[in-house]
Structure 1
Amino acid sequence: MAEHLSSIRLDLDTTKIHTWRSIITLVVFVITNIIVLLPFHIPIYIPRLLRDAILDALGALRVIGPRRNRPSHVSSSISVYSEGQDDRGRHFVRFRFPMNFVTAPLIADLFLLAILAIGREEVYGGTIGANNISPIDIMAFFITLAYIAISIDASGLIRYLAFKVLQKAGKVGHRLFFYLYAFFFALGIFIGNDPIILSGTAFLAYMTRVSSNIIHPRAWIFTQFAIANVASAVLVSSNPTNLVLAGAFNIKFIDYTAHMIVPVVITAIVLFPFLLYIVFADESLIPLCIKMHELSEEAKARKPVNPNIPHARGNAEEDKDNPTNGEQEKLLSLEEIMNPFLDKGGAAFGGVIMAATLITLLALNASTPSTGEHPVFYVTLPAAFVMFCWDIGFGWHHRRETRQIARDGRREFERARAERLAQEEAMERAILNRSGEQAHISPVPPRPTATLETSTHCQNAVLEGIHYTTDPPSGDIKAKNSLPTDKTVEPLPQDDRSRGARPPADDAAIINEKQIPTTPNPQYPSEKLSGLTLIKNAGETSLASSEPEAEAKLEPSCSVAAGPERRGTTLVSLVADAYRWSQETFPTATAVLSHLPYALVPFAFSMFILVQALVTKGWVPVFAYGWDHWVNKTGTVGSVGGMAFLSVILCNFAGTNIGTTILLSRVIQAWQQIHEENGTRISDRTFWATVYSMALGVNYGAFSTAFSASLAGLLWRDILARKHIHVRGLDFARVNLPIITISMVVGCAVLIGEVYIVKSDVSNGP
């Protein structure tokens, strides 16, 4: 350990904490972590004229569409957005600026730079690296390895294996619970917690929904989240917190795994009966016999749908994940589980790449004298590039098939939406007719039924909602509902509709839903648009073909204006078209790139800089002296218990488990240097007990009291919300409290026994 200590030099001067800049640095750090824990929005009022001028300028530059084509209150093209209320006649517009785990640390760093509390030293140490922690290497390693793991998930392998586990367990509730528990634990060891949460959470949401006697999914989703984070503690590559810790103390990957695997495995073994028979001992949560809906033979024989292709399920997109659709929605969820998509080639190739990458990492890391000589991303970057090339090549080879699936599904989807909207409109007008109010009110402009969308490449014109732009004669409709006089079909920038979600009402690319009149009126004849006729009948609007071969004409040779002459083409629409084309041509690569944890990069760098500021301002040495006093009083057992408690608590209050790992690693480094300068040594037993108890705490701490204890927790909550399972913060803490308690008690007890067996009471190195 002496060689390792000689490479670490921290300023242990604690008198700096009395300066005003040092005090402000600590206050800013605390406030930042509170904001990460409790995000909010700041209302910002700007003059409406300034807002309109900015939007007009962006429209003139063709970044977004002209403002006259949108409701005046819509401004979602800007990163901060309006409340959505109609602000006409108001002098100021309110925007809501998000303060969350991305913006808060970044603003804190900028503020400290502005008051000269930090400078080049802190920024360099928080990005390039200092004291054996290299943030840029860690982020490069994690992002590239995450691409391989998420690509395996995108191939459908996790859902397919979960389906096989479900088949193996049958309908025996306790056996299925055990099989899924073991499956998520084994898979989480090798590919980390994020892919398990990405795919496994959705699988469990569907499974519990189609089970008639599972009243609440609580037991299944909380167990999956806990065991995925327990499993992520085994390998250095499974969690970025492990990378920070291994880099800070020059731990060989094989040594890290050798010390962590026993506490983690025993934790998993003890935790299972505790969850099954104590925490979730309720038949409404884990029934003895699970009653599931049966999938029809026709559905079983149907070719599985690739969820990465937009609108692959056609009109089922309208019903998917909608709990109000009853049996139809359950059948869709059941098909998602019992007839899963699997790209066998991509799954096999990804598995080989992942295995080769991990083996190479372990071999190179074990053979080199120092982890800093060869950055670990030297291995993962080429591997991720090979995986990316496979995804691109495979997508290009099957491009005709995937484009056809997307084209047919989108037509079916929009046709179903048009029919539904027409039925709703007819029902509304029938109610008005019965109430006798129709003669006393002005015509109510109904919703648009569909949009005729054209791509930049004009590959396909699809029924995505017609932007009808014929001006009505004056006097018929109020001026605010009038439209331009030319007859065009304007392509609207696409948003989440490419993923089957209903577009938000305040999107800048969506016209007012009550903009197109459909009441019978001779002044509004049917308009023929590229072989399509918008037919207006009393209380009904529908899309019909004016020619027998109308749909056949909706091909790349379409007559809708495209390219330079296409009206309304903007930078936003071009990007949306390019993204749609990428989804249809390279579905796997696009899905993986869209799911990479990009937000982790600015967050981690900002937190590294903030912690480095605490180091240079004297606060980390203060914490280190306090920790030294605790260890002197309590010994090895106290160091394990104290560090385990601190790491779990700080995960919730110090910028997630990543921020906690950064801070505590610096504290332990300062603690080492204190003993070196005093001419004393920390015993190997006490030192490594402290380090590995922190490793347990920052991994297990993800399932403690707050979603923001880890980025995985935020991802887990958002996925469940999209599946209409809303977990409150209080419920998250209440359910997880006994789970984290038993996990940490068992893990720390095993760790104490381990270090007393394998570590000596003298300082001889790792």
Structure 2
Amino acid sequence: MADTVDELDTSVIKTWRSIVTLIVFVLTNIVVLFPFHIPLWVPRFCADAYSDALSALRIVPPPRSRERVHRRQFAVRPWKRLNFPMNFITAPLIADLFLLAISAIGRTEVHDGTVGSNNIFPIDIMVFFITLAYIAISIDASGLIRYLAFKVLQKGGNNGHRLYIYLYVFFFALTAFIGNDPVILSGTAFLAYMTRISRNIKDPKAWIFAQFSVANVGSAILVSSNPTNLVLTGAFNIKFIHYTANVIVPVLVSLSPYVDIALCGPQISTTFSQMYFTWDTKVDSETLSQATVIVLGPFLLFIVFADNDLIPASIELHELDEAARNRAPVNPNIPHARGTADEIELADNSDEANNLSLEEIMNPFLDKGGAAFGAVIMAATLITILALNAATDTTKEHPVFWVTLPAAFIMFCWDVSFGWLNREKTREIARNGRREVEEARAKRAIEAEEKVRLATLEQGSAADTAPGLKSEVPSSNDYAPTSGLTGSPTSEKLAEKEQVVLRTDSAQVRQDDRPTLASLFAESYQWCQETFPTVTAVLVHLPWALVPFALAMFVLVQALATKGWIPVFAHGWDHWVNKTGVVGAIGGMGFLSVIMCNFAGTNIGTTILLCRVVQVWIKLHERSGIPITQRTFWATVYSMAIGVNYGAFSTAFSASLAGLLWRDILTRKYIPVRSSTFAQVNLKIIAVAMAVGCAVLVGEMYITRSGTDAYQPG
């Protein structure tokens, strides 16, 4: 167990356990940034014995007999390779276990990193975020987000720049209300379909990157929109309404370049080495006179979407036929609800796949009852949280999940009740869709078998017409064991083996019919999907991976604190602020938070670490008797708030869990985004957004905060 030490003591960093703790923390963050697999070579007989044991216990189905025969006839490697994942879930957990094993951390660090300390309560934060996410994703599962996006698409019409503005503002407002996860879940898929069915959008880059950036910019406004905001407000006892009031102006001004850019409708012409901007004559003088556009607009236009192939002046969408327009939309949460549509979409850019994508957008499903009830529950929950937080003392522990947990339970009961009442209808839809899929697969199998048969007949007829070549074709006896006998005994042995295999296969089929734990689980999951489609979809899409990752990172940061590294970082920050003042505090913390999002375990890990650094920085000044001015302190805190939210769209997908989700959705929609492209596009966006946001924050701090009054904790 780790020894209890002074929280401000930096001498302990000389001990070997302290050095190992820092190394482990750095290596863990590198693994989170660059995940990989560790190959584990296991003796094959051990792997087979383990598989046989699971089969005997009827946990998994037994291996196919043909596989066993194949292993006997052909040589196989004596070792079997297993790949152990090292990612954002396993790496922090293994790091904590390793530090426990070497006694670098003990009960205190584990307790403070999970239950909480210093006004940061990880379990409370996780319960709050998961329960609120259930309500938000339930609203998404009702089809409300896609339906509203469809209405925005209708309102924007075929004017590319206007539609871009509408979608951008729509995603921003939606993110501020329900958080970025539901917006990324549905908004990314919507844009993937929209750009796919457009005739003249050659590259969806401008649309998907704008949506991803605004989903993270919008999450900075409300505390409930992002777990990083919860960590920050809890660490410094900030009332939720005060937090929103201080960050909303920098955030909204950060948005203005994008809106202005889209309004201006740029056309960039390139002549050899000269590049110049030609502006749309329809733009009014007031828009052009804005300083934001004059300074930042042309730069962003050139970097982000300075091409008519990205945002056309007029968007041409395929038309939906009358039959598809009149067809009743189906709930995508029901398995096989679209029949063979999901399999047809695997044809990528085929006409039929494009028609299905068009129908997905232009004829969206909407559960009006679930959407209305979810919106009411979400609004009531957020209003209650803000009211209670504003009316109570933040220095006392009042877990916000006391509000969100009952609200999520009410939403859960609604989803379960609605699913049970409509179970016959949803089961019939799933049954019909599954039958359609099975018939389509059987048809394809018959067609493939027929092609093979015809090809075999053609080869046979070709051999008959060329008798001179017949002797050159090897017979099946050429592959028989070289025992010196090529007559009937060998043929009889082969026939006997085939009969044994056939009998074994028949027995295997009967054996496979026995239920196993895996088959029972699969059947139960399918039953839940067909009976409670909304509940199942929401539970699957909840950010469960956030829980073990965040708790493990809390413990790692607590380990740095007890090993003297947090005080070292706090001393460094104190020296920086003393040299640079308020402007340096805003610029330095903004830059540091964005950079660390990419290298310190996503924006959540960064927020945990930086909050602890600032907390120790406060204690350093309390011990020295030199106060921190209100202007300097709040400049530091709110620049961190902007940085950890904006840092999610910087250089690496792993800067946030939302980035990993965004990339996976795009990959499934056949829009692969390379890491280099992600960094290249986002670097310019984050540079402009942070510069504008921090500049506005500097003015805000000088106007609203005193430069002489001391900051009083609590």
TM-score (norm 1): 0.81
Q: What is the CA deviation profile of residues 106-133 of structure 1, one whole-angstrom value per residue up to 9, with x for unaligned ones?
A: 0000001001111111100110001110
The CA distance in 2 between the partners of 1:490 and 1:71, in whole Å, is: 15
How many residue pairs align between the two structures? 644
CA displacement at 1:483 relative to structure 2: 4.1
Q: Per the alignment, in what secondary structure is the counterpart of residue 97 of structure 1?
A: strand
User: 14, 19, 22: which one pairs with 1:26?
Assistant: 22
Q: Per the alignment, in what secondary structure is the counterpart of residue 129 of structure 1?
A: coil
Q: Per the alignment, in what secondary structure is the counterpart of residue 146 of structure 2?
A: helix
Kindly report the root-mean-square deviation, in angstroms, between the aligned alpha carbons of the 2 structures: 2.3
Structure 2 counterparts to residues 485-634 of structure 1, below 5 A: 485-486=506-507, 567-634=513-580
The CA distance in 1 between the partners of 2:110 and 2:95, in whole Å, is: 13
Structure 2 counterparts to residues 320-719 of structure 1, below 5 A: 320-323=345-348, 326-370=350-394, 372-436=396-460, 474-475=495-496, 477=498, 483-486=504-507, 567-719=513-665
Stretches of structure 2 lacking an aligned partner (at least 5 in a row)? 267-300, 464-472, 477-493
CA displacement at 1:488 relative to structure 2: 5.1
**Paired AA for residue 407 in structure 2:** A
User: 254, 263, 277: which one pairs with 2:250?
Assistant: 263
Asked if residue 748 in structure 1 is aligned to residue 694 in structure 2, the reply is yes
CA displacement at 1:482 relative to structure 2: 6.9
Q: Per the alignment, in what secondary structure is the counterpart of residue 485 of structure 1?
A: helix
The CA distance in 2 between the partners of 1:615 and 1:188, in whole Å, is: 34
Asked if residue 172 in structure 1 is aligned to residue 172 in structure 2, the reply is no
Q: What is the CA deviation profile of residues 55-112 of structure 1, one whole-angstrom value per residue up to 9, with x for unaligned ones?
A: 11111111001134584699xxxxxxxxx9x996221101111000000000000001
CA displacement at 1:742 relative to structure 2: 0.5
Q: What is the CA deviation profile of residues 202-222 of structure 1, one whole-angstrom value per residue up to 9, with x for unaligned ones?
A: 000000000011001100000
1:106 paired residue number: 93
Q: Per the alignment, in what secondary structure is the counterpart of residue 216 of structure 1?
A: coil
CA displacement at 1:374 relative to structure 2: 1.4
1:459 paired residue number: none
Q: Per the alignment, in what secondary structure is the counterpart of residue 44 of structure 1?
A: strand
Q: Per the alignment, in what secondary structure is the counterpart of residue 484 of structure 1?
A: helix
**Paired AA for residue 319 in structure 2:** E
**Paired AA for residue 150 in structure 1:** I
Asked if residue 52 in structure 1 is aligned to residue 48 in structure 2, the reply is yes
Cα gap change, 1:583 to 1:12, in 2 (>3 Å): same
Asked if residue 299 in structure 1 is aligned to residue 324 in structure 2, the reply is yes
CA displacement at 1:423 relative to structure 2: 1.7
**Paired AA for residue 307 in structure 1:** P
2:343 paired residue number: 318
The CA distance in 1 between the partners of 2:475 and 2:329, in whole Å, is: 49
Contact 2:628 2:711 in 1 (8 A): no
**Paired AA for residue 557 in structure 2:** V
Contact 1:241 1:657 in 2 (8 A): yes
Stretches of structure 1 lacking an aligned partner (at least 5 in a row)? 1-8, 75-83, 444-472, 492-566
Q: Per the alignment, in what secondary structure is the counterpart of residue 81 of structure 2?
A: strand
The CA distance in 2 between the partners of 1:371 and 1:149, in whole Å, is: 29
Cα gap change, 1:641 to 1:442, in 2 (>3 Å): farther
Contact 1:271 1:743 in 2 (8 A): no
Q: Per the alignment, in what secondary structure is the counterpart of residue 38 of structure 2?
A: strand
CA displacement at 1:381 relative to structure 2: 0.2
Q: Per the alignment, in what secondary structure is the counterpart of residue 506 of structure 2?
A: coil
Contact 1:651 1:659 in 2 (8 A): yes
Asked if residue 61 in structure 1 is aligned to residue 8 in structure 2, the reply is no
Cα gap change, 1:264 to 1:111, in 2 (>3 Å): same
CA displacement at 1:372 relative to structure 2: 4.0
Cα gap change, 1:478 to 1:118, in 2 (>3 Å): farther
Contact 1:194 1:712 in 2 (8 A): yes
Q: Per the alignment, in what secondary structure is the counterpart of residue 40 of structure 2?
A: strand
1:725 paired residue number: 671
1:760 paired residue number: 706
The CA distance in 2 between the partners of 1:646 and 1:70, in whole Å, is: 59
CA displacement at 1:420 relative to structure 2: 1.6
Cα gap change, 1:745 to 1:55, in 2 (>3 Å): same
Contact 1:321 1:724 in 2 (8 A): no
Contact 2:64 2:508 in 1 (8 A): no
The CA distance in 2 between the partners of 1:93 and 1:757, in whole Å, is: 67
CA displacement at 1:10 relative to structure 2: 6.7
Asked if residue 227 in structure 1 is aligned to residue 214 in structure 2, the reply is yes
Cα gap change, 1:121 to 1:72, in 2 (>3 Å): farther
The CA distance in 2 between the partners of 1:490 and 1:178, in whole Å, is: 60
Asked if residue 734 in structure 1 is aligned to residue 680 in structure 2, the reply is yes
Contact 1:317 1:413 in 2 (8 A): no
The CA distance in 1 between the partners of 2:663 and 2:74, in whole Å, is: 33
CA displacement at 1:573 relative to structure 2: 0.4
Contact 1:155 1:588 in 2 (8 A): yes
Contact 1:123 1:609 in 2 (8 A): yes
Contact 2:139 2:375 in 1 (8 A): yes
2:106 paired residue number: 119
Cα gap change, 1:18 to 1:488, in 2 (>3 Å): closer
CA displacement at 1:373 relative to structure 2: 2.5
Q: What is the CA deviation profile of residues 542-596 of structure 1, one whole-angstrom value per residue up to 9, with x for unaligned ones?
A: xxxxxxxxxxxxxxxxxxxxxxxxx320000001000000000000000000000
Asked if residue 156 in structure 1 is aligned to residue 143 in structure 2, the reply is yes
1:12 paired residue number: 8
Which stretch has the larger CA shift, 313-322 or 242-251?
313-322
Q: Per the alignment, in what secondary structure is the counterpart of residue 576 of structure 1?
A: helix
Q: What is the CA deviation profile of residues 682-706 of structure 1, one whole-angstrom value per residue up to 9, with x for unaligned ones?
A: 0000000000000000000000000
Contact 2:8 2:616 in 1 (8 A): yes
Asked if residue 290 in structure 1 is aligned to residue 286 in structure 2, the reply is no
The CA distance in 2 between the partners of 1:441 and 1:179, in whole Å, is: 69
Cα gap change, 1:55 to 1:372, in 2 (>3 Å): farther
Percent identity reads 65
Cα gap change, 1:186 to 1:87, in 2 (>3 Å): farther
**Paired AA for residue 753 in structure 1:** G
**Paired AA for residue 702 in structure 1:** A
TM-score (norm 2): 0.87
The CA distance in 1 between the partners of 2:547 and 2:540, in whole Å, is: 15
Q: Per the alignment, in what secondary structure is the counterpart of residue 593 of structure 1?
A: helix
Q: Per the alignment, in what secondary structure is the counterpart of residue 212 of structure 1?
A: coil
